[in-house]
């Protein structure tokens, strides 16, 4: 299992770079950032500095969208970074959440998402692509490698992911829900004639090492609110009794609204509707042993990467314990079984 660290690009940018360097030091393979250019600093600028001050980690947005970023510019950014620092970039993409909603915009359609994935991937891999009636290719790009992972929750988005995604990003760590979603993506890949084993499955959630459960829950409760935004869209489209697991839909019944100015923040003041049970199910909390146990479950159902959100007050300690205990434990078990 690989490990990623998900950062917010809050000022100062040097702090984001510092955490990225710590993540690499402690054995994380990926450094991801939120991509919401109004709420936080512009991440594409910061990626260059992270890559300059690290040696191996891959960097990318978690996640970008086709609405606020021109697709050809996105591809050009990552192809350029690949030329500068080696093929060390990756793109996570979805229909759009905070980056579009904060400007009163709407998520893109699945058709637009599908097309954007194709355009970004082809250009980002130094290949030609048809775009707006023209054949485009970066004449300066050679040998660039760029995977595009798709963030999804609803049935149709999961189907799209299985059909075209290099990877699947699931932003919650509930084992039962993850099992259902991974199967849905794999089934869609098979129906599309793809080998589902070629898709990388990534589960993302807040991770907090500690023993004060109430404090940890309060620090991570924001995540249930963030997930609730996507679930509310799903319920609006499919209803609460559709094909989506009830464990995912039931908890938003008490949801009354969402303020994106508090998006992804531990002090989010409008997520009281998220019960402790959901925080425990969606996140990784507790001692190193607690984390290892849940990560073993996730790996057993086909998860290849765990990406941990660091939006809480215990960033360095959580990275340290992962680097010294959790990551070695998961890797040692693989070695012992092989």
pLDDT tens string, the chain, 338 residues long: the values are: 999 999 999 999 999 999 999 999 999 999 999 998 889 999 999 999 999 999 999 999 999 999 999 999 999 999 999 999 999 999 999 986 666 667 777 778 999 999 999 999 999 999 999 999 999 999 999 999 999 999 998 899 999 999 999 999 999 999 998 999 999 999 999 999 999 999 999 999 999 999 999 999 999 999 987 776 656 665 556 555 556 666 666 766 655 555 555 545 556 555 778 889 989 999 999 999 999 999 999 999 999 999 999 999 999 999 999 999 999 999 876 544 44
pLDDT at 231: 67
CA atoms within 13 A on the CB side of 264: 21
pLDDT at 35: 92
pTM summary value: 0.89
Please answer whether residues 273 and 251 qualify as being in contact, where contact means their C-beta atoms are separated by less than 8 angstroms.
yes
Nearest to 271 by CA among 285, 284, 258, 253: 258
Distance, CA of 133 to CA of 43 (rounded, Å): 31
Nearest to 29 by CA among 9, 49, 1, 52: 1
């Amino acid at each position: 299992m690989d490990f990623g660290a998900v950062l917010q690009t809050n000022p100062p940018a040097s702090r984001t770079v510092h955490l990225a360097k710590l993540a690499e030091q402690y054995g994380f393979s990926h450094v991801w950032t939120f991509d919401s250019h109004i709420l936080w600093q512009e991440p594409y600028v910061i990626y260059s500095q992270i890559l300059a001050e690290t040696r191996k980690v891959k960097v990318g947005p978690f996640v970008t969208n086709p609405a606020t970023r021109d697709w050809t510019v996105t591809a050009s950014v990552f192809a350029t970074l690949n030329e500068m620092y080696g093929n060390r970039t990756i793109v996570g993409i979805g229909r759009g959440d905070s980056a579009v909603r904060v400007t009163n915009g709407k998520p893109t359609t699945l058709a637009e998402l599908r097309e954007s994935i194709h355009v970004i991937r082809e250009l980002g891999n130094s290949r030609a692509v048809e775009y707006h009636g023209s054949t485009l290719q970066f004449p300066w790009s050679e040998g660039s490698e760029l995977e595009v992972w798709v963030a999804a929750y609803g049935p149709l988005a999961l189907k799209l992911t299985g059909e075209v995604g290099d990877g699947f990003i699931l932003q919650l760590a509930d084992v039962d829900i993850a099992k259902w979603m991974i199967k849905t993506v794999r089934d869609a890949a098979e129906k599309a004639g793809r080998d589902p084993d070629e898709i990388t499955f990534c589960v993302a959630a807040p991770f907090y090492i500690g023993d004060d459960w109430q404090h940890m829950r309060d620090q991570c409760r924001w995540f249930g609110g963030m997930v609730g935004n996507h679930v509310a869209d799903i319920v609006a489209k499919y209803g609460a009794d559709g094909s989506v697991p009830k464990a995912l839909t039931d908890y938003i019944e008490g949801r009354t609204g969402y303020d994106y100015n508090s998006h992804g923040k531990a002090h989010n003041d409008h997520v009281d509707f998220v019960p402790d049970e959901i925080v425990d199910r969606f996140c990784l909390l507790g001692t190193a042993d607690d984390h290892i146990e849940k990560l073993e479950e996730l790996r057993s159902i086909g998860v290849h990467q765990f990406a941990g959100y660091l939006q809480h007050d215990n960033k360095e300690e959580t990275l340290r314990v992962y680097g010294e205990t959790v990551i070695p434990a998961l890797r040692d078990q693989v070695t012992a079984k092989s």
